[in-house]
Structure 1
Amino acid sequence: MTFQLSTTRADNSRIEIPAIGLELRVCMEPATSGNQLSMIETCNAPGFGPPFHKHAETEVFYVLEGRYLFEVDGKRFVANVGDTITVPGGIPHGFVNLDDRPSRQLVLIVPGLDAKAFFTELGDVMKMGRPDAALQSAFAAKWGVDFLGPPLRRP
């Protein structure tokens, strides 16, 4: 894998998706690694996480702050600060922020994904809350994501 010089400032523009309590910053665009790797920093509001889903890309989550409940391939477990979770491509997964304050993760995506375009479009699809089935299906087909169910809930 060949990398190019790249810098991202901490004040880089953030993408917000209030419907799923997500704020994120793209830390590394896929072009930096010849489309082999992307990196994002996510901030999840208390009690929020993505819809249960799967996709071809592998994700590596590193918990920077807070506590999450993950479900990966039918197994549930809690991830704390400093924990790393690797979810191979094609495996159903989801997570929810267990804390009463925002929690943060650093996420590596392999191969690289245009996270800026993906999450900007997801925000547009979800700007009015949960989208209708046709809109969600069109987004899923374009990006190769299977939405398998609602987000996890805090116990």
Structure 2
Amino acid sequence: MTSTTGQAGSALLVREGDAEFLGLPSGGAFRLLADSGETGAVLSANRLTLSEGSDGAQPHCHLLSSEFFYVLDGAAEFLIGDEIQVVEKGDVLVVPPGLPHAFGAVRGSGTDLLVIISPGVQRFGYFRMLQAIARGEGSLESLLPVQDRYDVHFLDSAIWQIARKGRPSAA
């Protein structure tokens, strides 16, 4: 990561090779681009690649931040409130605070997502925990005590469970 200073202040430049890479056993990966401490809490950004049909995030909401998803490649299935929507390459989805959501790659396709959280939340530690869980080094229950810290509040959704039955999990 590089900070450059100009008339209006500092800019953050993250070169592809400098982004922290967190590989997932399913073949997917997180690329940690900018955490809120590096952006003055304006935003956090990561890139998430999911292998064919695999789950990305279980049902949850954020109380403090909106979440912006841009599909760089493939297609993702999203739970948005009580509805399932397919979001494809080039599509944008913005989820406001408090709206339940979940996502994963659609059956027969992988997906590559740019995810931006605004205002930013220090969430890189959360993604490292997800990687450890995906490798079998922890359980999803270990995330419960840190829901407030990372502004990820887990929810139950029968609609999502039915829609995603039998899919491999990224975490």
**TM-score, scaled relative to structure 1:** 0.81
Distance 1:113 1:132, change over 3 A: closer
How far residue 32 of structure 1 moved from its aligned partner, in angstroms, is 3.8
Q: CA RMSD in A?
A: 2.7
Runs of 4+ in structure 1 displaced over 4 angstroms?
none
Structure 2 partner of 1:61: 69
Matched, 1:51 2:58: yes
Paired position in structure 2 for 1:88: 96
Partner SS, residue 119 of structure 1: helix
Residues 1:31 and 2:10 are matched in the alignment: no
1:1-150 aligned at under 5 Å gives the runs 4-11=10-17, 12-18=19-25, 22-48=28-54, 49-56=56-63, 57-128=65-136, 131=139, 133=141, 135-149=142-156
Shift of 1:132: 6.0
Q: Is the 8 A contact 2:12 2:39 kept in 1?
A: no
Taking structure 2 as the reference length, the TM-score comes to 0.75
For each residue in 1:96-140, what CA deviation from the matched residue of structure 2 results, as whole angstroms up to 9, or x when unmatched? Answer: 20153531011110111223222112323454277164x232232
Unaligned ranges ≥5, structure 2: 1-7
How many percent of aligned residue pairs carry the same amino acid?
25
Segments of structure 1 that go 5 or more residues without pairing to the other structure are none
* 8 A contact 2:121–2:150 mirrored in 1: no
> Do the aligned partners of 1:67 and 1:98 also contact (CA within 8 Å) in 2?
yes
